[in-house]
Chain A
Amino acid sequence: MTLYNELVRFMRELYPKYGYHEVMTPQLFRSDLFKTSGHYEKFYDDMYWFAGSDEGEELGVKAMNCPGHCHLYGTAKRSYRELPIRWAEFTRLHRNERSGTLNGITRVRTFAQDDAHIYCEQEQVPDEIDRFFQMTAEVYQKLGVDGIEMAVSTRPEKFLGEPADWDVAEKALITAVERAGFHCRIKPGEAAFYAPKVEADFKDVLGRAWTLATIQIDMAMPGRFGLRYVGRDGELHQPAMLHRAVLGSLERFIGIYIEHTGGDFPFWLSPVQVVLLPISDRHAAGAHAVHAKLAEAGLRSEVDDRSETLGYRIREAEGQKIPLTLVIGDDELSRGTVAPRLRKSKKALEPIPVDALVTTLRVANAERSPAPFAGRA
Chain B
Amino acid sequence: MSVISVRLPDGKCLELPSGTTVLAVAEKIGPGLAKAALAGRVDGKLVDLRKPLLEDTALEIVTTKDPAGGEVTRHSAEHVMADAVKRLFPKAQVDAGRSDHSEKFQYDFLVENAFTPEDIAKIEQEMNAILAEKVAFERQVVTRAEAEQLFRSLGEELKLSRLADIPDGAEITLFRHGPFADLCRGPHVQSTSQIGAIKLLESSGTYFRGDEKGPNLQRIYGTAFASKKELAEHLERIEEAKRRDHRRVGAELGLFHLDQLAPARRSTCRRA
User: In the bound complex, do residue B249 and residue A251 qualify as a contact, i.e. CB atoms below 8 Å apart?
Assistant: no
Chain B CB within 8 A of A108 CB? yes
- Assuming A2-B271, A271-B272, is B253 touching A109 (CB within 8 A)? no
B253: which of A110, A205, A256, A320 is its contact (CB, 8 Å)?
Answer: A320
User: In the bound complex, do residue A255 and residue B246 qualify as a contact, i.e. CB atoms below 8 Å apart?
Assistant: yes
B-contacting 9-mer, from A24-32, A38-46, A98-106, A346-354: A98-106
Residues of A within 8 A of B266 (CB): 105, 108, 251
CB A45 to nearest CB in B, in angstroms, measures 16
B-contacting 9-mer, from A9-17, A145-153, A257-265: A257-265
Residue among A255, A256, A321 with max Cβ neighbours from chain B (10 Å): A255
User: In the bound complex, do residue A108 and residue B255 qualify as a contact, i.e. CB atoms below 8 Å apart?
Assistant: no
A104: which of B241, B246, B268, B271 is its contact (CB, 8 Å)?
Answer: B246
Residues of B within 8 A of A272 (CB): 271
CB A161 to nearest CB in B, in angstroms, measures 28
Chain A CB within 8 A of B256 CB? yes
Residue among B237, B243, B265 with max Cβ neighbours from chain A (10 Å): B265
Complex Cα–Cα for A258 and B244 (A): 7
- Assuming A1-B270, A206-B237, is B264 touching A109 (CB within 8 A)? yes
Chain A CB within 8 A of B240 CB? yes
User: In the bound complex, do residue B244 and residue A259 qualify as a contact, i.e. CB atoms below 8 Å apart?
Assistant: yes
Chain B CB within 8 A of A355 CB? no
B271: which of A97, A107, A206, A271 is its contact (CB, 8 Å)?
Answer: A271
Determine the residue in chain A with the shortest Cβ distance to B238: A206
Which residues 217-258 in B have Cβ within 8 Å of A in the complex?
237, 240-241, 243-247, 249-250, 252-253, 255-256, 258
Complex Cα–Cα for A30 and B268 (A): 30
Residues of A within 8 A of B255 (CB): 3, 254, 258, 271
Residues of B within 8 A of A255 (CB): 246, 250
Complex Cα–Cα for A102 and B260 (A): 13
Residues of A within 8 A of B268 (CB): 1, 4
User: In the bound complex, do residue A262 and residue B263 qualify as a contact, i.e. CB atoms below 8 Å apart?
Assistant: no
Tally chain A residues at the interface, Cβ within 8 Å.
32
Residue among B241, B246, B249 with max Cβ neighbours from chain A (10 Å): B246
B272: which of A1, A102, A207, A208 is its contact (CB, 8 Å)?
Answer: A1
User: In the bound complex, do residue A105 and residue B246 qualify as a contact, i.e. CB atoms below 8 Å apart?
Assistant: yes
User: In the bound complex, do residue A207 and residue B256 qualify as a contact, i.e. CB atoms below 8 Å apart?
Assistant: no
**CB 8 Å contact bits of B102-138 with A (1 = contact, 0 = none):** 0000000000000000000000000000000000000
- Assuming A207-B237, A258-B246, is B253 touching A102 (CB within 8 A)? no
The binding surface of chain B is classed by DSSP as mixed
- Assuming A258-B244, A262-B243, is B264 touching A108 (CB within 8 A)? yes
Nearest first, the 4 closest Cβ-Cβ pairs linking A and B are: A271-B271, A258-B246, A255-B246, A104-B247
User: In the bound complex, do residue B241 and residue A109 qualify as a contact, i.e. CB atoms below 8 Å apart?
Assistant: no
Residues of B within 8 A of A208 (CB): 241
Beyond A3-B272, A108-B264, 6 additional contacts (C-beta under 8 Å) are A1-B268, A2-B270, A104-B246, A206-B237, A206-B244, A263-B252
Complex Cα–Cα for A228 and B258 (A): 44
Residues of B within 8 A of A104 (CB): 245-247, 250, 258
Residues of B within 8 A of A258 (CB): 244, 246, 249-250, 255, 272
Complex Cα–Cα for A329 and B255 (A): 31
Complex Cα–Cα for A205 and B240 (A): 10
**CB 8 Å contact bits of B160-199 with A (1 = contact, 0 = none):** 0000000000000000000000000000000000000000
CB A303 to nearest CB in B, in angstroms, measures 15
Which residues 242-300 in A have Cβ within 8 Å of B in the complex?
251, 254-256, 258-260, 262-263, 271-272
Residues of A within 8 A of B270 (CB): 1-2, 271
**CB 8 Å contact bits of A105-140 with B (1 = contact, 0 = none):** 111111000000000000000000000000000000
Complex Cα–Cα for A319 and B243 (A): 13
Complex Cα–Cα for A2 and B264 (A): 20
Residues of A within 8 A of B258 (CB): 104-105
Residues of B within 8 A of A109 (CB): 263-265
| Sampled A-B contacts (22; CB under 8 Å) | A1-B270, A1-B271, A1-B272, A2-B270, A2-B271, A3-B255, A4-B268, A4-B272, A99-B263, A102-B263, A104-B247, A105-B266, A109-B263, A109-B264, A206-B240, A251-B266, A254-B272, A258-B272, A259-B245, A260-B244, A271-B272, A319-B252
